[in-house]
A and B are shown apart, each in its own frame.
Chain A
Amino acid sequence: MQTVRVEHLADGGLAARFQAMASPCEVLVDGADENELAELGLLAARECWRIQAKWSRYQAGNIVDAINSAAGQTIEVDEETAGLIEFAAQLHAGSEGRFDLTAGLLRRVWSFREGATVPDPAAVEALLPHIGWHRVVWQAPALRMLPGMELDFGGVGKEYAVDRALALLSQATSRPALVNLGGDLAANRARSDGSCWRIGIDSGVDRTATPLIRLTRGAVATSGDHHRYITLGGRRYGHVIDPRTGWPPPQAPRSVTVAGASCSEAGALTTIAILYGADAGDWLRSQQVDFHVVT
C-alpha cells in the first residue's frame, strides 16, 4: 500500500510517514506546512520505492533478477547499479571479506522466525562454494558470476535510499530535512533555529537504555537483532552471518550504532562491525567513527 500520510508529532511538529523496504519511514522538514510536507514526503517516498523495486530480489524482471538468473553469463549493468556494486566491492576489500553481496544465499538455511533452529552444518557447508565476492568477475559495467550464485543488495539498499531521498529533498527545498527509514537516518543540516535533530535510537535490545543522539548533519545507522536470533545450548546466534564460514560470528554485539557522513557509510560500518564479533568496538575505534555498541 503505497501512501504517504502527514501526521502530527507529540512535540507539535509534522512528519510524513510511509512504508518502504518493510520498514516504517518518516520525513521531517523543518518549517514546512502540511501541504508542502505531503509533497516532499511523496518525493522521498517515490525515491525509496524506486530503489526498492530496482534492487528487490523478489521482483521479477529487474536487474537483480537478470543477474541472478544469468547462469554464468556476463551481464552488463546500468550505471547506478555499477556504483552500488563498486561500493559493495570496497566494503568487501575493507572488511577482509566479511561484507559480501553474495552472502544472501545463506537465507536458504538460516531462518530467524519464531521457533527456528540452527541449520544442519552440512547444509551450510554445501552453500559455501556458491558464496564469495572473490568468485565474481567484476569489471564495471560487466559482471559474471558462477552458476548458482546470487547477489542481494539488502545490505546496502536501505541506507542508499536514505541518502538518495535526502539528496532529492535538499534539491527540492532549502529547508532543513531529515529522512528516517526504519531507524537508519540522515539529516542535511541543523534545524532553522540552529538546534539539532534529537533522535532516540532503538537498539532493538530489551532492557538497555535508549541513547539520545543530537544530530546536526550526517547520518546514523543502527544494526540491532530486534529479536532475530536463535539461542541453542546457551549460545546465541545473531542474524548477521559471516559469508566466509556461513555462521554468525561468535560473541557478536546485539546492536551497533554508528554515525557517519552518509547513511551508506554508517550502515556499512554497523554491519561490518557486527561481523567482527567480540572485536567490534576495537574495529570501530580503528575506523575513527563515533559509535555505540550493545553486547
Chain B
Amino acid sequence: MQLNGPQRRNRFAAAALSLLGASSAATAHADDGSDWTFDTSTLLYAEGAGRVKVFEPKVNASLHLDESRTLAATVTVDALSGATPNGAAPYSKPQTFFQPHSTSGSSGSSSSSGVNSTYTTAAYELPKDPNFENLRGALEIDYSFAPAAKQHMDLSTALSVEDDYTSIGVGGHWSRDFNQGNTTLGAGLNFSSDFISPVGGVNTPLSQMVGSIANGPSSKLKLVQDMVVGVTQLVSPRSLVQVNYSLSHSNGYLNDPYKILSVVDATAAPLYYVYESRPGSRLKNSLYTHYKARAMGTDVFDASYRYMIDTWGIRSHTVELSYRAYIAGERGYLEPHLRGYRQSAADFFHAALDQGQVAGTRFASADQRLGAFTAYTGGLEYGDRHWAGHDWSVRAEYYRQLGKVEGLPPVAGNALARYDVAPSLSAGWLIFSLGFR
C-alpha cells in the first residue's frame, strides 16, 4: 500500500460523495506507516569562465496531522564558491583590489601586507573577486490548516544564517474557495529583518576603496515587507488561470557591501574605486499571470508571464513555457522548459564613473544585476513515478545572460567602448528531486 497525501480526489470519490450525501467521510486516511512525507531537491550549479559554483541540498519533512493540518520543516544548505565580479570596469593593464577581511581573521590566498590583502586581475579581464566563498544554512517552519470550510491558511517562519548575513522572517497566506471551488482568492503578507555584517565591516557608500578594513560600522539592517493578492480561476474542466499582484517594499541597507565602481579618466584608466551606493528604499510591483492546462490526454502545458516595475527604474518581462509529456503509461514524463527574461537598467546604474559624476551623484552601482540585459533559459526534466509510490526527477537547465552596454560615463564613453563592460554570463545546473510518500 502506498502512503497517501492529503486532499487527494478523483472523480469516483466525488461521485460517491453525491451518492452518499454529506454524511460520509471527506477524505480517506489509510496508510501502512506514518503520516510523514519527505521531499528532497539538490542543486548543482556552475557558471562559465570559472565563476561561481553552488551545491545546495534542500530537505522537506511534512507531518500530516489530519486531512487539513500539516506541519512542515524545510532545511537548506547552500555552499557557494568561486569568483564573482566586483563591479569594476576592465582595463588594458592589470588591476589590483583590496580583499575585504576581518581584523581578527587571516587573509585569503592572495598576497597581504599588514592588515591589507589584495588580489589582481589580468589586463582586459572583467575584475572578479576570486576568493568568494559562502556557506548558508536555512530553516523554514510551515503550519497549514483550514480555519473554516473552504479556507486554507499557511503560517511560516524562516531563518537564514551566513557568515555575513542573517535573515529572520514571518509570513502568512490565506485563501478561500468560492463558486463550487472554481475560484480561489488568496492574500498573503511576509515580513523579514535582515542583518548584514560584511567581512571587514560596512564601507561608507561612494567612499574610496583604501584597504581591507571598512571605514564604517560593523553591521546594518534591512527590512522587507511583501504583500501578494491573487485569484485562481478554473476556466474549464482541464485548465486554470492564476493572476497574482505583488508588492515588495524594502528599506534600510540595500547595498551589496562588496560591490565597487571604477572612477576613470578620459582614457578609461581607473583612478580609484568607490563603494556602490543604492537608495535606501525600493518598491517593486509585479503582476504574474499563469495558465496551466491538460493537453493531449494527461500532458500538462504551462505558460506564465510576469511584469515587474520598481522605483529604481527597472522594468522586466519574464516569459516561461513548459510542456510535460507523459510516457510509458504515465509512469514517467519528459518536460522541456523555456524561459525568456529582459530587464532595463536601474536609473543609477553606471558601468563606471568619471570624476565629475562622483562629485555630483548620490546613488551609483555597477552591479550587473541592476544593468540592462536579456537572458534565456532552456532545459529538460525527466521524472519517474516509482511503483512503490516514491517519485524522482532530474532537471538540467542552461542559462545565458546577454548584457547590454549602458551607463557609460560621458568623459570616457568612447574609451570604455573598447572593453567588454557588459560581458555575457553562462550557467548550467542540475536539480535532483526525490519524494518519499
Q: Direct contact between A and B in the complex (CB less than 8 angstroms)?
A: yes
List residues of chain A with CB under 8 Å of any chain B CB: 83-84, 86-87, 90-91, 94, 160, 163-164, 167, 170-171, 186, 188, 211-220, 257, 259-262, 264-266, 268-269, 272, 279, 281-282, 285-292
With A167-B23, A260-B16, A290-B3 known as contacts, the answer to whether A220 contacts B30 (CB < 8 A) is yes
B313-347, CB under 8 A of A: which get 1 and which 0? 00000000000000001110000000000000000
Q: Are A261 and B28 in contact (CB under 8 A)?
A: yes
Q: Are B387 and A281 in contact (CB under 8 A)?
A: yes
With A163-B20, A261-B16 known as contacts, the answer to whether A218 contacts B32 (CB < 8 A) is no
Q: Are B19 and A215 in contact (CB under 8 A)?
A: no
Q: Which B residues touch A218, using CB under 8 A?
A: 25, 27-30
Other A-B pairs beyond A213-B32, A216-B30, A290-B3, 12, CB < 8 Å: A86-B19, A90-B11, A91-B15, A167-B20, A213-B1, A215-B30, A261-B26, A261-B28, A265-B10, A265-B17, A285-B330, A286-B330
With A218-B25, A281-B387, A285-B385 known as contacts, the answer to whether A290 contacts B20 (CB < 8 A) is no
A261 to chain B, nearest CB (A): 5
B1-37, CB under 8 A of A: which get 1 and which 0? 1111000111111011111100111111111110000
Q: Which of B1, B12, B30 contacts A268 (CB 8 A)?
A: B12
Asked if B298 lies at the interface with its beta carbon under 8 angstroms from chain A, I say yes
Q: Which A residues touch B23, using CB under 8 A?
A: 167, 170-171
With A257-B1, A259-B28 known as contacts, the answer to whether A87 contacts B15 (CB < 8 A) is yes
| 25 residue pairs A–B, Cβ–Cβ below 8 Å | A83-B18, A86-B19, A91-B12, A163-B16, A164-B20, A167-B24, A170-B23, A171-B23, A213-B1, A215-B30, A218-B29, A219-B28, A259-B30, A261-B25, A261-B28, A262-B16, A262-B24, A264-B16, A265-B13, A265-B17, A272-B12, A287-B10, A288-B10, A291-B1, A291-B2
Compute how far the CA of A164 lies from the CA of B12 in the bound complex, rounded to whole angstroms.
17
Q: Which A residues touch B17, using CB under 8 A?
A: 261-262, 265
Q: Which A residues touch B11, using CB under 8 A?
A: 90, 94
Compute how far the CA of A211 lies from the CA of B2 in the bound complex, rounded to whole angstroms.
11
With A281-B387, A289-B10, A292-B1 known as contacts, the answer to whether A188 contacts B25 (CB < 8 A) is yes
B332 to chain A, nearest CB (A): 11
Compute how far the CA of A285 lies from the CA of B30 in the bound complex, rounded to whole angstroms.
16
Q: Are B30 and A214 in contact (CB under 8 A)?
A: yes
Q: Which of A217, A220, A287 contacts B12 (CB 8 A)?
A: A287
Compute how far the CA of A290 lies from the CA of B17 in the bound complex, rounded to whole angstroms.
18
Q: Which B residues touch A268, using CB under 8 A?
A: 12, 15-16
Compute how far the CA of A268 lies from the CA of B329 in the bound complex, rounded to whole angstroms.
21
Compute how far the CA of A287 lies from the CA of B28 in the bound complex, rounded to whole angstroms.
14
Q: Are A211 and B1 in contact (CB under 8 A)?
A: yes
Compute how far the CA of A261 lies from the CA of B1 in the bound complex, rounded to whole angstroms.
15
Measured CB to CB, the nearest residue on chain B to A265 is: B16
Q: Which B residues touch A163, using CB under 8 A?
A: 16, 20, 24
Q: Are B16 and A290 in contact (CB under 8 A)?
A: no
Q: Which of A91, A186, A282, A291 contacts B330 (CB 8 A)?
A: A282
Measured CB to CB, the nearest residue on chain A to B8 is: A288
Interface size on B, residues (CB 8 A): 34
Q: Which of B30, B385, B387 has the most CB of A within 10 A?
A: B30
Q: Are B19 and A87 in contact (CB under 8 A)?
A: yes
Q: Which A residues touch B331, using CB under 8 A?
A: 282, 285
Q: Which A residues touch B330, using CB under 8 A?
A: 282, 285-286
A279 to chain B, nearest CB (A): 6
Compute how far the CA of A92 lies from the CA of B226 in the bound complex, rounded to whole angstroms.
49
B16 to chain A, nearest CB (A): 4
B65 to chain A, nearest CB (A): 11
Q: Are A94 and B1 in contact (CB under 8 A)?
A: no
Q: Are B24 and A290 in contact (CB under 8 A)?
A: no
Compute how far the CA of A261 lies from the CA of B27 in the bound complex, rounded to whole angstroms.
4
Q: Which of B26, B28, B385 has the most CB of A within 10 A?
A: B28
A85 to chain B, nearest CB (A): 10
Compute how far the CA of A219 lies from the CA of B28 in the bound complex, rounded to whole angstroms.
7
Q: Which of A87, A170, A171, A272 contacts B16 (CB 8 A)?
A: A87
Compute how far the CA of A157 lies from the CA of B18 in the bound complex, rounded to whole angstroms.
16
Q: Are B1 and A290 in contact (CB under 8 A)?
A: yes
Compute how far the CA of A213 lies from the CA of B29 in the bound complex, rounded to whole angstroms.
11
Measured CB to CB, the nearest residue on chain B to A281 is: B387
Measured CB to CB, the nearest residue on chain A to B34 is: A214
Compute how far the CA of A269 lies from the CA of B13 in the bound complex, rounded to whole angstroms.
9
B156 to chain A, nearest CB (A): 26
A214 to chain B, nearest CB (A): 6
Report, nearest first, the 6 A-B pairs whose CB atoms are least far apart.
Answer: A218-B28, A90-B15, A282-B329, A259-B30, A265-B16, A264-B16
Q: Are B24 and A260 in contact (CB under 8 A)?
A: no
B32 to chain A, nearest CB (A): 6
Q: Are B24 and A261 in contact (CB under 8 A)?
A: yes
Q: Which B residues touch A287, using CB under 8 A?
A: 10, 12
Measured CB to CB, the nearest residue on chain B to A156 is: B19
Compute how far the CA of A186 lies from the CA of B30 in the bound complex, rounded to whole angstroms.
10
Q: Which A residues touch B329, using CB under 8 A?
A: 279, 282
Measured CB to CB, the nearest residue on chain B to A171 is: B23
Q: Are B25 and A286 in contact (CB under 8 A)?
A: no
Compute how far the CA of A163 lies from the CA of B13 in the bound complex, rounded to whole angstroms.
13
Compute how far the CA of A289 lies from the CA of B17 in the bound complex, rounded to whole angstroms.
16
Compute how far the CA of A272 lies from the CA of B389 in the bound complex, rounded to whole angstroms.
20
Q: Which B residues touch A86, using CB under 8 A?
A: 18-19
Compute how far the CA of A107 lies from the CA of B379 in the bound complex, rounded to whole angstroms.
55
B369 to chain A, nearest CB (A): 41
Q: Are B27 and A94 in contact (CB under 8 A)?
A: no
Q: Which of B4, B12, B26, B385 contacts A290 (CB 8 A)?
A: B4
With A90-B11, A167-B20, A287-B12 known as contacts, the answer to whether A262 contacts B25 (CB < 8 A) is yes
B380-398, CB under 8 A of A: which get 1 and which 0? 0000010101000000000
Q: Are B19 and A217 in contact (CB under 8 A)?
A: no
Compute how far the CA of A264 lies from the CA of B329 in the bound complex, rounded to whole angstroms.
26
A256 to chain B, nearest CB (A): 12
Q: Which of B16, B20, B32, B385 contacts A212 (CB 8 A)?
A: B32
B49 to chain A, nearest CB (A): 45
Compute how far the CA of A219 lies from the CA of B25 in the bound complex, rounded to whole angstroms.
9
Q: Which A residues touch B3, using CB under 8 A?
A: 290
Q: Which B residues touch A214, using CB under 8 A?
A: 30-33
Compute how far the CA of A259 lies from the CA of B29 in the bound complex, rounded to whole angstroms.
8
B299 to chain A, nearest CB (A): 12
Q: Are B298 and A289 in contact (CB under 8 A)?
A: no
